[in-house]
Structure 1
Amino acid sequence: MDIFIIGDIHGCFYTFKKLLNKLDKDNEILVQVGDLIDRGKNTPQTVHLARNLKQKHPNNVIFLKGNHEFEFIQHIEKAPNLHWVNHCGEETLYQYKLNNRNIKNDMDWFKEMPLFWENSDLFISHAGIAKEAANPFEESSNLSVIWNRNQLKNLNKLQIIGHTPCKEPMYDEVSNSWNIDTGAAYQGYGYLTGVKVKSNGTIIEFLKEKTDVKDII
């Protein structure tokens, strides 16, 4: 099956729904690179949609953990996480209260999220395998696959990541990697990116969904 990879969504529910219309559920695996939450106007709705998709298609839908899910977990389990609250968490908590959604239940789902998805030709994670990372799967490390912003390691397969916003998908030849975080929640220039890839790592096409105004705070 081909793989349909979606970048950082950040609470952009309506934009996410539009991009999902381009998913071929019978012939594609959906992998989302993490950071479903925060920054946008509709985090609880976005999580609800994601969880329903996962429930209906458990083997063909994968939502990876990003640093925002990690920070959310830290706040609910070991409150307060002031770094998260002060940057975007206060708004997310308000949205959960407004929507009367069970925040603990969603936290438990975030904890179950895998850190990566891979096959023999493709590796997908939130922030990528850093060149110098001793343990890229230690979630609290700033070189982990949910936090890294340093040069990526060449894995002899294609890496696809998000995490660091850019104005268009960016390819790094040295590491053979694409960054597809195009700042969906940022007013003025952001949009949500999807990329369809064959199982052997060959890019089929990039898809661009301009952020719906209903998702912008």
Structure 2
Amino acid sequence: MTLIYCIGDIHGCFTKLQALVNRCIDDAAGRSMRFIFLGDYIDRGPQSRETVEYIIGLQRARPDHVICLKGNHEDMAVAAYDDDAWLENWLANQGRSTLQSYNISSARDLPPAHIRWLRSLPTSTQDRHRFYVHAGIHPHRPLAAQDEFDLLWIREPFLSSAKQFELYIVHGHSPQLDGHPDIRPYRLNIDTGAGHGGPLTAAVFDDEHRPPLYFITFK
């Protein structure tokens, strides 16, 4: 049996991330494990650079056991790097904190290796029971026909949908400011507002059960 530790939006909260990853490793206690990160590694919090470097290192050390998805904040950062016309939009969405963490003033000065990594991130992954994505899916389309914009940005009509999807949807993007995951019959939101001062949360799954077994958080 493999334990899956799925971690929600980090937003530059490196201290919370490092502590939560260590708790997950301790929880696995030597059993087979895999990490899935749902994106939004950067912006808002003070340590975006440290967060990106840490996750790249974790993925390099465990290449078959760490999956990193793209969030809308990574999408904005890459767009700002490619085209100055996107810079103001990124800065308006807390991109300035990321520039400060790199001690730079322009998106063009972001490290090329980090941009290559951000650009390479997939927008979703799935297993036998679950579909993992940053923001969610459009409820009126099958999973195989989803639009990248929706995977990165959607809120409605996804969040209010009561539709039973093909797989259990695990997502972040919409912060739960009460600090608790939003558990629904057909989806789970584990963005517990780390970038807003809330905890960072990992949902723990296994190969046999569809919903989460339990949660691990770090405040």
Q: CA deviation at 1:45?
A: 0.2
Equivalence for 1:158: 168
Given candidates 147, 152, 168, the residue that maps to 2:153 is 147
Q: 1:163-178 maps to which residues of 2 (within 5 A)?
A: 163-166=173-176, 167=178, 168-173=180-185, 176-178=186-188
2:129 maps to a residue whose letter is D
Q: CA deviation at 1:103?
A: 2.5
Contact 1:3 1:29 in 2 (8 A): yes
Q: What do the CA deviations read for 1:198-217 (whole angstroms, capped 9, x no partner)?
A: 1232422111110xxxxxxx
* Bigger shift: residues 59-68 or 87-96: 87-96
Q: What do the CA deviations read for 1:133-177 (whole angstroms, capped 9, x no partner)?
A: 585233xx3xx111010243532321110000012101223xx00
Runs of 4+ in 1 over 6 A off after TM superposition: none
Equivalent-residue separation in structure 1 for 2:67 and 2:90 (angstroms): 24
Residue 50 of structure 2 is aligned to residue 45 of structure 1: yes
Give the TM-score normalised by the residue count of structure 1: 0.86
Contact 2:81 2:110 in 1 (8 A): no
Residue 11 of structure 2 is aligned to residue 10 of structure 1: yes
Contact 2:38 2:71 in 1 (8 A): yes
Give the TM-score normalised by the residue count of structure 2: 0.85
Equivalent-residue separation in structure 2 for 1:108 and 1:158 (angstroms): 30
Contact 1:126 1:162 in 2 (8 A): yes
Equivalence for 2:89: 83
How has the CA–CA distance of structure 1 residues 107 and 198 changed in structure 2, closer, same or farther, with 3 Å as cutoff?
same
1:65 maps to a residue whose letter is K
Given candidates 79, 82, 92, the residue that maps to 1:74 is 79
Tell me the SS of whatever aligns to 2:213: strand
Q: CA deviation at 1:59?
A: 0.9
1:95 maps to a residue whose letter is S
Equivalence for 1:19: 20
* Bigger shift: residues 82-91 or 33-42: 82-91
Q: Which runs of 5+ in 2 are unaligned?
A: none
How many residues align? The count is: 200
Tell me the SS of whatever aligns to 1:14: helix
Tell me the SS of whatever aligns to 2:169: strand
How has the CA–CA distance of structure 1 residues 26 and 77 changed in structure 2, closer, same or farther, with 3 Å as cutoff?
farther
Equivalence for 2:128: 120
- The root-mean-square deviation of aligned C-alpha atoms, in Å, is 1.8
Equivalence for 2:215: 206
Contact 1:7 1:182 in 2 (8 A): yes
Equivalent-residue separation in structure 1 for 2:141 and 2:96 (angstroms): 32
* Bigger shift: residues 88-97 or 121-130: 88-97
Equivalent-residue separation in structure 1 for 2:212 and 2:110 (angstroms): 38
Equivalence for 1:136: 146
Equivalent-residue separation in structure 2 for 1:185 and 1:124 (angstroms): 20
1:154 maps to a residue whose letter is Q
Matched residues, percent identical? 30
Equivalent-residue separation in structure 2 for 1:131 and 1:157 (angstroms): 12
Contact 1:76 1:104 in 2 (8 A): no
